[in-house]
Structure 1
């Protein structure tokens, strides 16, 4: 697996690669012939999202490759050894694109034969940038077979190079007559897939802003799906955040996009599925840090094993349940519903109103909801019940934060400040909640240790540490709230 960062250029047939020796030592060129088969659904669902799935022979990296977008000029590449079959995609790779195929058959949609001339810029043993000069013959399959020929140049950043050097190479190539390619890949140039549809809305309207934000968060959720299936670092967290942002936006802007209760319920379901593994991941790292900070004489018995290996095993089981959910029809139906939400939403009258006026009102209403929840909590005399009510304050702050983030493109700095204020409320109440949950987990983990006759002294010590942390956060909150309210009055 690797991150591919490159710039692509269209060049005329008689183009000459310029002299790059002033930038670094030049090695090559070396020539290869590459033959690749590309796989997609009949309606090109992968290509529409900028995803490449191919089987390639020749060159220095033959095999199966999946390339997933990771932002401008960057893609994540996942490889698999070459197999004999050209008809069956390796299951590991087919699983990585399930969020896009959703059960549809993968088949060959194109092939590309490329005569490649490769020049490498080096600094000693370090390979900095690779320049590939490609003469391409592309064949597109479908109702009619179409053959297209062209020439292009790619400049790819290698492990020893810098983006600054890549930019200098690109500048030299452009000066020699290359033009930046509008196509993200050779396959996109050949197939010209239609992008995922987005609903037509009134320019400058509330509907335009909300739908654009929803489309971005749907893409964010989808982009994390392959990473979650591979259990990559922080992927579960990012996917859960995307689902929460989608749900929070639909709640906040229900007068703009209507009839979304079922989608909200399903977003809550997938966030819950993802949350189990994420919470175990966080709390396992939390306990590991606390045990590492304790003097060795205070760590008694096999507590590291129980709070490490035992929680890790539970985390692995939770990942198994995630993969099962992500491979099921319920998840596919949710993804279909999200696509429809962006392409053909049910819009309310508020969707036609000017974005700046209507959405500012929504942001203010969501912040008032936070203050109302806080007043309700403060009116509760029983401390235990007040803590529960404060959890509602945290949820309201999270919703206000997501709303403000969605509105930053049109309301700018004011929404940035409001998002930061809401985040601060969310974080400090979250610190209290995390301490409470950690105490409950420690007591639960201590029970089997006690039954096994192990010394549970360290568990009690950790419970005390977590209780102090939770109490400090709770005691600090009134000061934070007062400061936050003062700052919020300047926003509105």
Structure 2
């Protein structure tokens, strides 16, 4: 079983950090009442990566370490500068399966091999406050690095590391840093020990990191947007596996953005190549959303029941809702993990890599982005316009509901097209993004009401069949009708505002 810890730390180096130099005096740091000597530990860590260093290229580190208080396997995932999530698994001979899964979107089917060995002599101090509570751990590390694959070099250095205590105030690190600067230390130029070891032990950095150039052509802009969505899917993979809040939703959005881009810019990217990939993205979005849509609907209905006066809640409504929800759940965490481990998903990731490495560009890809992208966005906007006008001309009912739902989907597609075009088109595209987001939200509320009414009809039938009162479901149905009617009444003004601002 793996444990996760948010790690906030800073590393320092300088002439005053040498083999014969001890830790600087930190008793004068604001808030520090004492410095506790925690002794010296001998640490021995072997870092693993693919032969072409895919993890290092993504600033991920995977190591097996003995010695110290936290011996075992550690995977560090970057969050922001100086902040990483450290995932710990018990000591074993092989890389734990749980950690292999978390790097699968990077590693794919490649082998994980020992890359670098770091042996460190760590002199540790604890900075504590007046109550003896830990503020930060300061360690002086004397490091010996040995390259195990991809080279044969060795290196050694001494560095100072300051790690904030759990739930500590990050501003405290600024106080420590001021004291360290006075002692002649500066922030390390290497983001991690592994990065420094790789740089100083020689060998070739085999994994190519693409240095993105500013987009020039229409194709450049479209590919930059597609690349951003591919990167989002890869980066969100470990978060989805760890059940990080909203990660599933964000990965689904990335798949939708990419699919929409393929459709909107068929004059830029050949759809004969992108359509099969779009089909696989649709499959992945469906797998990600098996339980998510049901959860959203259940949350809406539960909240609606909670808003009713007690006298309007007749019968075991909450129990009925719970039973109905359980029966409609079609997925499980095990199923989703199996999808992320499966060949079809890994083939999709490889297909996206190939698409970006060898893009199926059409003639318009080399043209002026201002013309090509604007034309595509206007085409999408025209489809939204036709559907909104159709919905407004229809009487309330199933046909209008369907037209509004289609308008919502096209508004989302237009929003994504405008997002990808914004770097080239500037403020007009940015304004359209905001307009489409607002329209999408309004139409989304209407669609949610349609889905809620369908669910309430089903719940009422089940309650009646079980001899329970269906009164409450009727009350909720009526309220949902009122919500939908309010949206329909608001739509003409909303669309008029969109038209007045749409000038791409």
Asked if Structure 1 and Structure 2 have the same fold, meaning a TM-score greater than 0.5 normalized by the shorter chain, the answer is yes
Correspondence for 2:146: 139
Q: Is the 8 A contact 2:236 2:247 kept in 1?
A: yes
- The range that moved more, 18-27 or 477-486, is 18-27
Provide the C-alpha distance between the structure 2 equivalents of 1:389 and 1:196, rounded to a whole number of angstroms.
47
Task: Say which of 453, 464, 470 aligns to 1:456.
Answer: 470
Equivalenced residues, count: 487
Q: Is the 8 A contact 2:268 2:362 kept in 1?
A: yes
Indicate yes or no: 2:103 matched with 1:97: yes
Indicate yes or no: 2:159 matched with 1:156: no
Deviation at 1:114, TM superposition (A): 1.9
Correspondence for 1:384: 398
Correspondence for 1:406: 420
Q: Is the 8 A contact 1:199 1:211 kept in 2?
A: no
Provide the C-alpha distance between the structure 1 equivalents of 2:22 and 2:497, rounded to a whole number of angstroms.
63
Specify whether residues 302 and 186 from structure 1 end up closer, same or farther in structure 2 by C-alpha distance, changes over 3 A only. farther
Cα displacement string for residues 285-320 of structure 1 (whole angstroms, at most 9, x for unaligned residues): 222222222233433333323323652575483434
Specify whether residues 323 and 310 from structure 1 end up closer, same or farther in structure 2 by C-alpha distance, changes over 3 A only. farther
Correspondence for 1:359: 373
Provide the C-alpha distance between the structure 1 equivalents of 2:145 and 2:326, rounded to a whole number of angstroms.
48
Compute the TM-score of the two structures, normalised by the length of structure 1.
0.88
Indicate yes or no: 2:261 matched with 1:249: yes
Indicate yes or no: 2:80 matched with 1:71: yes
Q: Is the 8 A contact 1:39 1:110 kept in 2?
A: yes
Specify whether residues 351 and 160 from structure 1 end up closer, same or farther in structure 2 by C-alpha distance, changes over 3 A only. same
Task: Say which of 50, 62, 76 aligns to 2:71.
Answer: 62
Deviation at 1:456, TM superposition (A): 3.0
Task: Say which of 112, 115, 121 aligns to 2:121.
Answer: 115
Q: Is the 8 A contact 1:288 1:308 kept in 2?
A: no
Provide the C-alpha distance between the structure 1 equivalents of 2:196 and 2:379, rounded to a whole number of angstroms.
46
Provide the C-alpha distance between the structure 1 equivalents of 2:216 and 2:13, rounded to a whole number of angstroms.
35
Provide the C-alpha distance between the structure 2 equivalents of 1:69 and 1:106, rounded to a whole number of angstroms.
19
Correspondence for 1:166: 173
Q: Map 1:48-447; keep pairs closer than 5 Å.
A: 48-80=57-89, 82-83=90-91, 85-86=92-93, 88-123=94-129, 124-142=131-149, 144-174=151-181, 176-191=183-198, 193=205, 197-198=209-210, 204-258=216-270, 259-308=273-322, 311=325, 314-315=328-329, 317-356=331-370, 358-378=372-392, 383-447=397-461
Deviation at 1:250, TM superposition (A): 2.5
Provide the C-alpha distance between the structure 1 equivalents of 2:11 and 2:223, rounded to a whole number of angstroms.
31
Provide the C-alpha distance between the structure 1 equivalents of 2:25 and 2:352, rounded to a whole number of angstroms.
50
Q: Map 1:468-483; keep pairs closer than 5 Å.
A: 468-483=482-497
Correspondence for 2:202: none
Q: Is the 8 A contact 1:49 1:195 kept in 2?
A: no
- The range that moved more, 277-286 or 17-26, is 17-26
Cα displacement string for residues 327-360 of structure 1 (whole angstroms, at most 9, x for unaligned residues): 2111111111112223332223333334455434
Q: Is the 8 A contact 2:52 2:207 kept in 1?
A: no
Specify whether residues 378 and 471 from structure 1 end up closer, same or farther in structure 2 by C-alpha distance, changes over 3 A only. closer
Correspondence for 1:3: 6
5+ residue gaps, structure 1, are none
Provide the C-alpha distance between the structure 1 equivalents of 2:365 and 2:164, rounded to a whole number of angstroms.
44
- The range that moved more, 361-370 or 214-223, is 361-370
Deviation at 1:104, TM superposition (A): 3.2
Specify whether residues 198 and 208 from structure 1 end up closer, same or farther in structure 2 by C-alpha distance, changes over 3 A only. farther
Provide the C-alpha distance between the structure 2 equivalents of 1:397 and 1:340, rounded to a whole number of angstroms.
30
5+ residue gaps, structure 2, are 200-204
Q: Is the 8 A contact 2:114 2:149 kept in 1?
A: no
Provide the C-alpha distance between the structure 2 equivalents of 1:199 and 1:349, rounded to a whole number of angstroms.
25
Bigger-Rg structure (1/2): 2
Aligned with 2:166: secondary structure? coil
Q: Is the 8 A contact 2:29 2:179 kept in 1?
A: no
